Amino acid sequence: MTGILLVQGDITRQRADAIVNAANSSLLGGGGVDGAIHRRGGPAILAECRALRASRYGRGLPTGQAVATTAGRLGAQWVIHTVGPVFSADEDRSPLLASCYRASLRVADELGARTVAFPAISTGVYGWPMADAARIAVAAVRSADTAVEEVRFVLLDAPAYEVFARQIG
Ligand code: AR6
């Protein structure tokens, strides 16, 4: 069974087999978690992302999918990049958000990663309300068929941590 752990802090300070990046389709970096991961992880991550764009993902990584690179200087072996959906009040994109967690855990299984740290995907620049995102994230992880032993949600601030804590129950 996969254990779920909550941590408040900066995901780039975590030690885990894999750290998940809330990326965008370009895989070439951005703000938020993505910016922090590339800054602290160093240029090796971007080099592998560029190579992915030149090969398998010429059109970018589609929303809801995931792909791994080295973690560079981070305290992990791999970064798993996934692209969350932009929140929409008119359209239910929650299957895509759930897919980010499931696809990332599938990639983790392929790599043999046993501990995986996730940020709250789509809740920053992409505008997803935290409580709804937490509900989707926890349900997706709980229902995933995975060999990952520990999923750690790493929440930047206390309000986000509290929202996830309520969701875990
Ligand atoms: N550690 C943990 N959580 C963090 C950190 C950190 N270092 N930094 C931010 N958060 P976001 P998204 C929280 O915007 O919404 C980028 O430009 C943040 O408070 O990183 O999926 C990409 O390139 C929020 O709760 O990801 C994409 O273009 C959550 O992490 C776009 O943003 C996610 O915020 C992706 O947007």
- 110: exposed, middle or buried (C-beta count within 10 Å: 0-12, 13-18, 19+)? exposed
- Ligand 1 pocket mutation pick from 33, 116, 123 by most atoms within 8 angstroms of CB: 33
pLDDT number for residue 116 = 98
- % residues pLDDT > 90 (the chain): 99
The residue type found at 57 is Y
Nearest-CA residue for atom 19 of ligand 1: 124
pLDDT tens-digit readout, 10-42: 999 999 999 999 999 999 999 999 999 999 999
* 157 among known catalytic residues: no
Whether the Cβ atoms of residue 77 and residue 14 lie closer than 8 Å to each other: no
- Report, as an integer, the average pLDDT of 62-80: 98
Q: How far apart are the first and last CA of the chain?
A: 17
Report how far residue 41's alpha carbon sits from residue 48's, in angstroms, rounded to the nearest whole number: 12
pLDDT number for residue 1 = 82
- Report, as an integer, the average pLDDT of 85-91: 98
pLDDT tens-digit readout, 105-140: 999 999 999 999 999 999 999 999 999 999 999 999
Is 22 a pocket residue for ligand 1 (Cβ < 6 Å)?
yes
Helix, strand, coil proportions of the chain in percent (round to 5)? 40, 20, 40
Q: Which domains does the chain have, with CATH numbers?
A: 3-168 (3.40.220.10)
The chain-wide mean pLDDT, for the chain, equals 98
The residue type found at 154 is V
> Rounded to 10 degrees, what is the CA torsion of 21, 165, 109, 14?
50
- Report, as an integer, the average pLDDT of 73-99: 98
Q: Which of 91, 87, 72 is nearest to 29 (CA)?
A: 72
Report how far residue 93's alpha carbon sits from residue 87's, in angstroms, rounded to the nearest whole number: 7
